[in-house]
Structure 1
Amino acid sequence: SMARVKPFTDAQLKEEFEKIQKAISNTQIQAFSRILKKTGPVLEEPSSKRQKSTEAHIPSVLEVSQSPVISSHTSSGTRRKSLARKRLSKPKSTL
């Protein structure tokens, strides 16, 4: 059955890819706008910028939430490192 399928031309592949990309970005924007509406007023920004800053913010939040767990198991030397990491990720959250 696979042999019968005609391979896409480059143009067709590009078209399909763009369709998918548009669909993905639209659903992402919708999801973000739902979240943003819940959280209250936010600085007016183009949706693409807001998307990037939100994505960049997520890893730092995860790091901060994990570091207390890590530091409780280990020596004071690594505890200092996790505190420094917390300080580094704080400016990101104010953006």
Structure 2
Amino acid sequence: MTSFICDQIIDFEAASAYEAQDIERLIEQVKTLVAESEESKVVILLRNAHYLTTRAFVILYNYIQEPFSTNAVFVLVSSDKSRIFPPLLDLVEHRQSAA
């Protein structure tokens, strides 16, 4: 396992910001933070991820699939795994098994 000490934490509460435009703003915030310094490490804590709309999940999924900086780590927290976008779960499970 690779160690990761972060410089920034984004605490994103999906229960109150669950629409596509909320995720788009989050992704822009992440891109900005990572672009400010190549050494900057950012952790995005996405709480209550199961509240995201399908469109918001698709946007997040597409962003995570793109080659983006290894300086950003998304942590999805949910009390209901069954409501997480299935392709996103498949992607996460595939990457865990490859590691």
- The answer to whether the superposition gives a TM-score over 0.5 is no
What range describes the TM-score normalised by the shorter chain of this pair?
under 0.3
Determine which structure has greater relative contact order: mean sequence separation of CA pairs < 8 Å that are 6+ residues apart, divided by chain length. Answer: 2
TM-score for both structures, normalised by structure 1: 0.24
Higher strand share: 2
Higher helix share: 1
Larger radius of gyration: 1
